[in-house]
Amino acid sequence: MLVFSAICPHPPILIPTIGKDNIKQIKNTVEAMKNLEQELYAAKPDVIIIISPHGEMIPDAFCLNLNSNYQANFEDFGDFTTKLEFKSSPMLALKIKERVENELPIVLSSSDKIDHGAAVPLFYLTKHLKDIEIIPLCYSFLDFNAHFQFGQLLKKEIAKSEKRVALIASGDMSHCLIKGAPAGYSPKGAEFDKEFQTLLKRKDIPGILKMKPKLIEDAAECGFRSFAILFGVIEEYKFEVDVMSYEGPFGVGYMVANFKLV
């Protein structure tokens, strides 16, 4: 059963040993992630399904990492001390694969390493969930409707499961909010982030999925497909959206949003 779902950003700068003094500039995001962790802990999940844009990317298929355990570190970002370890939820992962494969292309991978798109949110969210199981998913380059459909299929398997499931859609918003941003500057970045949040607060999932593809492309986001999967899971539930924080001082939009089941 689904007990929790949220959108989280994943900048490595959120890790204190990486961000150092710069982390003060995203203090709202840090505080939101800490508050979200409390909400997740209260939901008592058995397993976290986490969707990352930075895992093993297969253009024409979704990828599910089925390994016995997982490790994460941030050595690529200069942090050689912070390490995370998790165990898998193999039976649920296989059931998800079986549910999806007749409708959409999905492949299994087996790696004990998880990427920073998954690791950064998990660093914050699993502080008090030391024995939590995880299922790492990576989206594809199929269209947005396929990702929404993937979420609908995922929803059916989550609903059948006896495990208490939390779903985390990892993704950053526009990467072009200011001059010097990772994707350069474009006014379309702020336009996309504002429109997305307006529609999200209205719970207008069809409206989000109908956003202009050119606007999404020009915003240079990395989370829309992750979010589309979450929307496919959550759409038929009664829920409220709490946008807990949004900021982009470094040119990338970081949004934390909690989908509270009611």
Any residues with CB less than 8 A from the CB of 108 and at least 6 apart, and which? 63, 64, 65, 66, 97
Tens-place pLDDT, residues 157-211: 999 999 999 999 999 999 999 999 999 999 999 999 999 999 999 999 999 999 9
Q: Is the pLDDT of residue 223 over 90?
A: yes
Q: In the predicted model, what is the mean pLDDT of residues 83-92? A: 96
Look at residue 130 and tell me whether its pLDDT is greater than 90. Answer: no
What is the rounded average pLDDT for all residues in the chain? 96
235: tokens are 């759409």
Neighbours of 115 (CB within 10 A): 21
- In which band, very low, low, confident or very high, does the pLDDT at 82 lie, cut at 50, 70 and 90? very high
Give pLDDT tens digits for 31-80: 999 999 999 999 999 999 999 999 888 999 999 999 999 999 999 999 99
121: which residues sit within 8 A by CB, 6+ positions away? 8, 9, 10, 33, 50, 168, 170
Q: What is the pLDDT of residue 57?
A: 85
All domains of the chain, ordered by start, with CATH?
A: 2-175+222-261 (3.40.830.10)
**What would you report as the CA-atom Rg of the chain, rounded to the nearest whole angstrom?**
17
Do residues 1 and 251 touch, judged by C-beta distance below 8 A? no
Beta bridge partners of 136: 50
Q: How confident is the model at residue 81 (pLDDT cuts 50, 70, 90)?
A: very high
Identify the pLDDT of residue 104: 97
3-state secondary structure 32-73: HHHHHHHHHHHHCCCEEEEEECCCCCECCEEEEECCCEEEEE
190 by DSSP, 3-state: which? helix
Q: Flag whether pLDDT at 132 surpasses 90.
A: yes
